[in-house]
Amino acid sequence: MIKLKFRYILFLLLALSCSTEKINLSPIGDNLSQTSGKTFTYTLDQRKNLIFYSSEITNLIATFPKFGNEDVNKEVITLKYYLKDYIGAMEESNANGLKTSQTKFEKSYKKLQHLRRFLNKQDDEILNRYLVKIKINMSLLNSNISTDKQPAS
């Protein structure tokens, strides 16, 4: 009798302890649609594009080289910060954060364009290559975040 009760209790504990959780493999995940009551209505292709372009920008940030000019390196750090801020605002569905971080990114981008003249030819070409890739991915990312898809306040 005791063995039978023990088996039931063991079976009950085993059944209750086995639970499954929702696995999220994407870097942005469900944050685009489940943050603080605000929702985006993206199609699957748009969500795929957002993930792809934001991961491209993140990879460019991670592999950005150091340059011979101290001012350029400082402005690159600033640019990286604003890009991370932009991607974070996108993940949080923060429309105001997107707008402010994009304007700060554009100012930093323009400042880097002016500082390029102080670099040697090889560093200038490398910096230009990175800036062009970042600008293209930002444009493609912004094309997926249209104003009619912004969350309602």
Q: Where are the domains of the chain?
A: 2-149
The answer to whether the CB of 115 falls within 8 A of the CB of 69 is yes
Mean pLDDT of the chain: 79
The answer to whether the CB of 30 falls within 8 A of the CB of 24 is yes
pLDDT score recorded for residue 142: 84
pLDDT tens for each residue of 76-100: 999 999 999 998 888 777 888 889 9
pLDDT score recorded for residue 44: 81
End-to-end C-alpha distance for the chain, whole angstroms: 62
**Element containing residue 144 per DSSP (H, E):** helix 121-144
Residues in the chain: 153
The residue ranking higher by pLDDT, 27 or 8, is 8
Structure token pair of residue 15: 């059944």
Percentage of the chain exceeding pLDDT 70: 71
pLDDT score recorded for residue 115: 93
Confidence of residue 35 (pLDDT cuts 50, 70, 90): very low
The residue ranking higher by pLDDT, 9 or 135, is 135
- Is residue 38 over pLDDT 50? no
CA dist., res. 116 & res. 62, Å (int): 20
Q: How far lies 60's CA from each of 12, 63, 80, 97, 136, in Å?
A: 51, 5, 9, 21, 12
DSSP state of 39: -
